[in-house]
A and B are shown apart, each in its own frame.
Chain A
Amino acid sequence: MNAIINGEPRRLAPGTTVADVVRSLTSAESGVAVALNDEVVPRTAWASTPVSPDDRVDVLTAVQGG
């Protein structure tokens, strides 16, 4: 299936979870947040939240600013 990960189209295996997507982008244990179709997914729900076809997943972290 295809999904949009951080703005880029990506092919994902069926059954891929939000936790899988996060692990593919960063090894950071903290300081990371996820939005699935613009809604925040709490860290505790990452492993149990599947990514569906055409979902938009954004994985964000703190960067220099402000």
Chain B
Amino acid sequence: MTSTVAEEARPDTVEDPLVIAGRTFRSRLIMGTGGAPSLQVLSEALRASGTELTTVAMRRVDPNAQGSVWDVLRQNGISPLPNTAGCFTAVDALRTARLGREALETDWVKLEVVADERTLLPDPVETLDAAERLVDDGFTVLAYTNDDPVLARRLEQVGCAAVMPLGAPIGSGMGIRNPHNIELIVEEAGVPVILDAGIGTASDAALAMELGCDAVLLATAVTRAQDPVLMAHAMREAVSAGRRARLAGRIPVRRYAHASSPARDE
């Protein structure tokens, strides 16, 4: 069967891969797993999203737990990305990252050092310190960060494999509050930029890609949607549509009309 031109140019195929630290991904949607009503729904949503890389947190074993998110990822062939959620200091983050590396046999880590429980905003000082220590310890660091172009540059300079600016606070669903800063980060970055946190619905994910982000990381928007599986489909398509629009090159915004039909014959 011959494929059409459109199919050949599909951004979510290997012709337009996402490359992080030399690893290639077809999907530009990285998923989180927090907030799903059940492991069954989570599993179906992850499949619907098409994701190949998904974050998990490290916590003490619950002897009464039925099933595990680790099993869900393995059954679906999805790579785990352990995070350092819940850490408030660089020392904490390093310890948690090492446990994730040991448990999940990956040196990839989503670095997340937050400043307080109310906003869950990244602590820039601890994040940068932790990034440096983790890189020195051999980790491939994907750093969750503020939408601060200067901090993003510093994180890249200390060796992060990707920078992940927030659109808005974690779980807020407020979308991208400062698109201009995201554009500035994208313009300067020599590593992939992944919009992480704040996505509320599909148009937010599409906007992130239109602004030039290389990928989107989201969890709550899917896991706490009324229909998580349907929202996962929507996010997959939104990321793909946004990526195509970015590659296609949008028209400039004008203040006045620009006729799309020829002028009438006199």
Interface residues of A (CB under 8 A from B): 6-7, 25-26, 28, 30-35, 38, 40, 42-43, 58-66
Interface residues of B (CB under 8 A from A): 32-36, 42, 55-61, 63, 68-71, 73, 80-83, 85, 95, 98-105, 110, 112, 219
Contact A64 B34 (CB under 8 A): yes
> Majority SS of interface residues in chain B?
mixed
Contact A63 B95 (CB under 8 A): no
Contact A61 B59 (CB under 8 A): yes
Decide yes or no: A61 and B102 within 8 Å by CB, A33-B58, A66-B112, A66-B219 being known contacts: no
19 residue pairs bridging A and B, Cβ less than 8 Å apart: A26-B61, A30-B70, A33-B100, A42-B102, A60-B58, A60-B59, A61-B59, A61-B61, A61-B103, A62-B73, A64-B33, A64-B35, A64-B69, A65-B34, A65-B57, A65-B85, A66-B81, A66-B83, A66-B112
Decide yes or no: A60 and B60 within 8 Å by CB, A31-B68, A65-B33 being known contacts: yes
Contact A61 B68 (CB under 8 A): yes
Contact A66 B60 (CB under 8 A): no
CB neighbours of A42 from chain B (8 A): 102
CB neighbours of B68 from chain A (8 A): 28, 31, 61-63
Contact B99 A66 (CB under 8 A): no
Query: With the chains together, A65 CA to B42 CA distance in Å?
Result: 11
**Smallest distance from the beta carbon of B42 to chain A beta carbons, Å?**
7
Contact B70 A61 (CB under 8 A): yes
Q: Which of A25, A63, A65, A66 has the most CB of B within 10 A?
A: A66
Contact B60 A58 (CB under 8 A): yes
CB neighbours of A28 from chain B (8 A): 61, 68, 70
Contact A62 B60 (CB under 8 A): no
**Smallest distance from the beta carbon of A30 to chain B beta carbons, Å?**
7
Decide yes or no: A62 and B82 within 8 Å by CB, A33-B102, A40-B99, A43-B102 being known contacts: yes
Query: With the chains together, A57 CA to B102 CA distance in Å?
Result: 15
Contact A32 B103 (CB under 8 A): yes
Query: With the chains together, A30 CA to B104 CA distance in Å?
Result: 8
Query: B31 — nearest CB in chain A belongs to which residue?
Result: A66
**Smallest distance from the beta carbon of B108 to chain A beta carbons, Å?**
13
Decide yes or no: A60 and B99 within 8 Å by CB, A25-B61, A65-B55 being known contacts: yes
Query: With the chains together, A26 CA to B68 CA distance in Å?
Result: 11
Decide yes or no: A32 and B57 within 8 Å by CB, A62-B82, A66-B34 being known contacts: no
CB neighbours of B58 from chain A (8 A): 33, 60-63
CB neighbours of A58 from chain B (8 A): 60
